[in-house]
């Protein structure tokens, strides 16, 4: 492990690309994984928990608290992403059954919100929360236990976009799935870093490399190859496409190698109504507009937003890190 690895609480909805992120988090020496909280998103919560436990096994992860949190968003109904991740959340990739258990105290199961609270409050240093899913667990945590805020170094989240959406024309899935939760986190006063679609969509492993990974002598690399090769459905009657995206794993690359990004500290708020519900409105204007002049501008906290990425650098970082797993 690196001299001063960053303590990371990972919030996931595993998820093909959350699985890639879990492999990376276990493998990278600059990350000290102190807990994994699960939330409904790409799949229903019980499936997300199972997927997460099995991927941690595949990564050879030492014992770490894993707990299930919110079964559904604060207000929205649950709407999974099975057209992207398959009905099982892992694109049909079958992993061995696991004997790894979710977090327990004195034999009793403890949910994600309480697990996160405990991990944060007993930590001897600040913890970074890396949120790779709808932010329901984080919002509940911050509302129920505001005292944890001072233990959180920052929330680095995969979500949102300063340009195009994916769940809708303007909204990214994680924020769209639970817009109120994302708004609570952005308004919490905890420093936030947005790794959104502007960079997420750019970091892709070439197809040939993904094929090579699938015949690697190392099991974790083979799994990474299968996950990356998973083809995404693009609509009725159309062939699924290879994207090669490392997806959520890119947010962890941002944590350990921020120099590959161009970022800006910008006002960001979540649109909560109408057809643009779930959009992250990123104010990139250089000069004040009429809204400021006429006192119409709402309040929006400042968020560090990743705008551009050296994609090749993150692909190399990802592949080099996964190669260290057995
Ligand atoms: C995000 O949504 C999920 O499908 C992925 O796991 C990622 O976290 C991308 O919009
Ligand atoms: Ca995810």
- Does the CB atom of residue 214 touch ligand 1 within 6 A? no
| CA of 126 relative to ligand 2 center, distance in Å | 23
Q: Whose CA is nearest to atom 9 of ligand 1?
A: 173
Q: How far is the CA of 175 from the centre of ligand 2 (A)?
A: 11
**Domain extent for 239:** 6-322
Please give the model's pTM, rounded to 2 decimal places.
Answer: 0.96
Residue 186 lies in a domain: yes
Q: Which of 84, 18, 11, 80 is nearest to 51 (CA)?
A: 18
Strands 6-12 and 31-38: parallel
Mutate to test the pocket of ligand 1, among 12, 41, 91 (most ligand atoms within 8 A of CB): 41
**In the prediction, which pLDDT does 2 show?**
66
Residue 141 lies in a domain: yes
Ligand 1 atom with the shortest distance to the CA of 173: 10
Cis, peptide link before residue 17, omega less than 30° from 0: no
Q: Considering its fold, how many domains does the chain have in total?
A: 1
Q: Is the CB of 250 under 6 A from ligand 1?
A: no
Question: What is the per-residue pLDDT for 85?
Answer: 85
Which atom of ligand 1 is the closest one to the Cα of 172? Answer: 10
Ligand 1 nearest atom to the CA of residue 85, by list position: 4
The CATH number that applies at residue 297 is 3.90.245.10
DSSP reduced 3-state for 32:
strand
Residue 121 confidence (pLDDT): 98
Distance between CA atoms of residues 192 and 16, nearest Å = 24
How close are the terminal C-alpha atoms of the chain, in Å?
Answer: 16
Count the neighbouring beta carbons within 10 Å of the beta carbon of residue 2. Answer: 11
Please tell me the predicted confidence (pLDDT) of residue 235.
67
User: What string of pLDDT tens digits covers the 326 residues of the chain?
Assistant: 567 999 999 999 999 999 999 999 999 999 999 999 999 999 999 999 999 999 999 999 999 999 999 999 999 998 888 888 888 999 999 999 999 999 999 999 999 999 999 999 999 999 999 999 999 999 999 999 999 999 999 999 999 999 999 999 999 999 999 999 999 999 999 999 999 999 999 999 999 999 999 999 999 999 999 999 988 766 667 788 899 999 999 999 999 999 999 999 999 999 999 999 999 999 999 888 999 889 887 777 899 999 999 999 999 999 999 999 99
Q: Is 26 domain-assigned? A: yes
Q: State if residue 40 touches ligand 1 by the CB under 6 angstroms criterion.
A: no
Helix H or strand E segment including 68: strand 66-68
Residue 240 inside a domain? The answer is yes
Question: What pLDDT score was predicted for residue 167?
Answer: 96
Residue 1 lies in a domain: no
247 lines ligand 1 (CB under 6 A): yes
């Amino acid at each position: 492990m690196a001299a001063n690895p960053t303590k990371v609480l990972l919030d996931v909805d595993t998820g093909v690309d959350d699985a890639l992120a879990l492999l990376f988090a276990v493998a990278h020496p600059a990350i000290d994984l102190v807990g994994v909280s699960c939330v409904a998103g790409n799949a229903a919560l019980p499936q997300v928990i199972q997927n997460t436990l099995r991927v941690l096994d595949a990564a050879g992860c030492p014992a770490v608290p894993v707990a299930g949190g919110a079964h559904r968003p604060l207000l929205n109904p649950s709407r999974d992403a099975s057209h992207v991740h398959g009905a099982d959340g892992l694109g049909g990739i079958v992993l061995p059954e696991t004997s790894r258990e979710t977090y327990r105290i004195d034999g009793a199961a403890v949910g994600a919100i309480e697990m996160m609270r405990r991990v944060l409050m007993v930590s001897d240093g600040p913890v970074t929360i890396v949120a790779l899913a709808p932010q329901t667990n984080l919002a509940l945590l911050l509302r129920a236990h505001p005292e944890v805020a001072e233990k959180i170094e920052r929330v680095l989240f995969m979500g949102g976009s300063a340009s195009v959406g994916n769940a809708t024309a303007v909204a990214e899935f994680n924020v769209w799935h639970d817009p109120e939760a994302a708004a609570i986190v952005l308004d919490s006063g905890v420093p936030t870093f947005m790794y959104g679609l502007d960079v997420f969509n750019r970091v892709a492993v070439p197809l040939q490399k993904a094929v090579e990974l699938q015949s690697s002598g190392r099991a974790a690399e083979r799994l990474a190859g299968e996950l990356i090769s998973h083809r995404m459905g693009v609509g009725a009657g159309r062939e699924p496409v290879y994207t090669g995206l490392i997806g959520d794993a890119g947010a962890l690359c941002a944590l350990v190698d921020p120099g590959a990004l161009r970022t800006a500290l910008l006002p960001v708020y979540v649109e909560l109504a109408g057809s643009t519900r779930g959009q992250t409105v990123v104010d990139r204007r250089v000069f004040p507009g009429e809204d400021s002049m006429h006192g119409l501008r709402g309040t929006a906290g400042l968020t560090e937003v990743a705008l551009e990425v050296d994609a090749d650098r993150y692909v190399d970082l990802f592949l080099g890190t996964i190669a260290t797993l057995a």
